[in-house]
Amino acid sequence: MQIVPFPSHYQLICNNFDFSSFSLISCYGVEAIHTPHIDRFASQSLVFEHAYCNIPVSGASRASLFTGMYPKFPHRFVNYTSRIGHDAPDAIVLSQWFTSHGYHTISNGKVIHHVEDKAGTWSEAPWRLHPKGYDVYWAEYNKWELWLNSESGRHINPKTMRGPFAEIADVADTAYDDGHVMQKTIADLRRLKSLNTPFFLACGFWKPHLPFCAPKKYWDLYDRDRIPMARNRYRSKGLPSAVKNSNEINAYARVAAPTDEAFLREVKHGYYACVSYVDALFGRVMDELTVLGLADNTIVILLGDHGWNLGEHGFVGKHNLMDNSTRIPLIVHVPGMEQGKTASMVELVDLYPTLCDLCHLPKPSAQLEGKSFLPVLRNKSTEIKQHVFVQWEGGDNLVDSQYSYAEWPKSGQQMLFDHRVDASENRNVVGDTLYLKVADEAAKKIRQQKKKYRLEAE
């Protein structure tokens, strides 16, 4: 590893993809998906193979990330409606901390889940194309059938007034919101270069969130019949009833059961297309960073706020404590620091203290519950913690380098997977005599974790 001194100030770009599964990006070993720009970025960065969200839903996950605080069921950061201003009004959010320490901070797209939440903590008002609603997004919507045009009356879910879960439209990259997020981010980079101040630029791409809408050329990258499907499209043996499928996709029109082969292939095809779409947009942003001469002193982070299931265990969506729902992509580029891959375990609450360390800022230590992974960025074989902690709807999940253990105190349900022999989580071994001690130790660690951070239900 090349050791270089820290610059007096790093610039910072944080790129967030909405529910991008770690298992569906090429640099994480999935050859079938087309992500050349992320792959190029990953080759110059440190790829975290065991990064986790702290709750598998956007609103709460982003609130947790931006405060450095764990969710606390049922009081703090528990679902998509979670707002920092309501759940933790006195918390100093990441943008606020950087703004108060001289950084020019900008939020483009989907960053903090609710655009009005802590909006005053940024140097500029958080930007979204049309924050008031989806029906007014596109001035030329009559040229193609966009899912978000409820007035068209075609393929509309009558209960939610949403369109189909996927759409193939032969349109430009800027026909959808993320294309405008890319353009705004590039324009901001050009403007920020002339400022005599460090910047923190957050770029939040909506995709690959539902609905799976991407320009046709990204769908055309794939032959639907040849897209590899999950081999474990069945409920894991002994899986607790507390582990459920998400109903999120059912809010859209033209939905079938997860057991429907044609439906599931279209879902996965759409997901792949959306990932390739935002990959291209991300590549445009990174190219501009290089053209502007900013790459050598800019930290760039690419992450997802939670994972997603595409047929595994019969699930389509997130909203459970399976590894596909909680494990996320996290790729960090710090000029002069480690590249390659690391098995070090990290979680999203660790990002806030890490960025403070990288940018030479003090930390609001009384608030932060994560741990800086700067030592890992300096030496990728370093471990900063033995486990990560995830919550969902009264369930507590402790994941370490070998096991994933979860329990639901109210119902007494438990599950345990041994990732060394069952990486796909197909058999719950919690009642197996060989694993009794493992489960007991994990349960003890959960109690210690909740006591340390005052996460017990009150």
Distances (CA, A) of 125 to 105, 119, 169, 256: 10, 6, 32, 40
Q: Where are the alpha helices (DSSP H) in 69-176?
A: 84-87, 94-100
* 158-171 confidence digits (pLDDT tens): 666 567 889 888 88
Q: How many CA atoms lie within 13 A of 392 on its CB side?
A: 27
pLDDT at position 140 is 38
What percent of the chain lies above the pLDDT cut of 90?
76
pLDDT at 141 (0 to 100): 37
- Rounded Cα distance between 168 and 174, Å, is 14
Helix axes 177-193 and 261-291, enclosed angle (nearest 10): 10
Helices (H), 197-260: 216-219
CA pair distance 274, 378, nearest whole angstrom:
33
Q: Side chain identity at 363, as an amino acid letter?
A: K
The arithmetic mean of pLDDT across residues 217-233, rounded, is 96
Q: What is the pLDDT of residue 130?
A: 61
Query: What is d(CA 183, CA 81) in angstroms, rounded to the nearest whole number?
Result: 28
Answer whether 0.85 is exceeded by the pTM. yes
Please, what are the domains in the chain?
11-385 (3.40.720.10)
> What is the tens place of the pLDDT at every residue in 368-417?
999 999 999 999 999 999 999 999 999 999 999 999 999 999 999 999 99
Question: Are residues 358 and 334 in contact, defined by beta-carbon separation less than 8 angstroms?
Answer: yes
**Residue bearing tokens 């839903």:** 57
First to last CA, the chain: 48
Residue range 85-103: mean pLDDT, rounded: 97
Largest alpha-carbon pair distance within the chain?
65
Pick the closest to residue 455 from 77, 63, 58 (CA basis).
77
Residue 313's pLDDT band (cuts 50, 70, 90) = very high
Pairwise CA distance, residues 15 & 332, whole Å = 10
Strands 104-109 and 199-205, by their bridges, are parallel
From 18-27, 47-56, 264-273, the region with the lowest mean pLDDT: 18-27
Please give the mean pLDDT across all residues of the chain.
Answer: 90
